[in-house]
Amino acid sequence: MANIEIQSQTEQDNGWAYEVNLDNNGSQHQYSVTLSRSDYDKWSQGQLPPKNVVKAAFEFLLERESASSIMSKFDCSVIRRYFPDVDRELPKKF
């Protein structure tokens, strides 16, 4: 099981930016990720802190691809392009 750590959060005009560290069985990965307010609202309905949504997004991705396959810098909306079921499946993680 991967250990997902949200290292920092920066609030932006339209959402949040995060630095994420992932330890996957001793293999270290770092990511820069943004989350828009619209995706945050769609996935969590404002019920969780935004960083929890980012963590759930990584859990979702890791169920579908390896840590090394995840882009090192991305906006969470990009997940939809590769995994159209994210809007239905991600809220189930909360």
Q: How many helices and strands (H and E) does the chain possess?
A: 4, 4
Q: What is the mean pLDDT of the chain?
A: 92
For residue 74, what are the β-bridge partners? 33
**CB-side neighbour CA atoms (13 Å) of 58:** 30
- How much is the CA Rg of the chain, to the nearest whole Å? 12
Predicted confidence (pLDDT) at residue 76 exceeds the cutoff of 90: yes
Confidence class for position 1, pLDDT limits 50, 70, 90: low
pLDDT tens digits for range 26-58: 889 999 999 999 999 999 988 899 999 999 999
CB 33 within 8 A of CB 16: no
Predicted confidence (pLDDT) at residue 14 exceeds the cutoff of 70: yes
Give CA–CA dist 92/30, Å, rounded.
25
Q: What pLDDT, on the 0 to 100 scale, is given for residue 86?
A: 95
Q: What is the mean pLDDT of residues 65-90?
A: 94
Domain residue spans of the chain:
3-93
Confidence class for position 85, pLDDT limits 50, 70, 90: very high
Predicted confidence (pLDDT) at residue 10 exceeds the cutoff of 80: yes
Give the angle subtended at the CA of 70 by the CAs of 46 and 66, to the nearest 5°: 110
Q: How many CB atoms sit inside 10 A of residue 27's CB?
A: 11
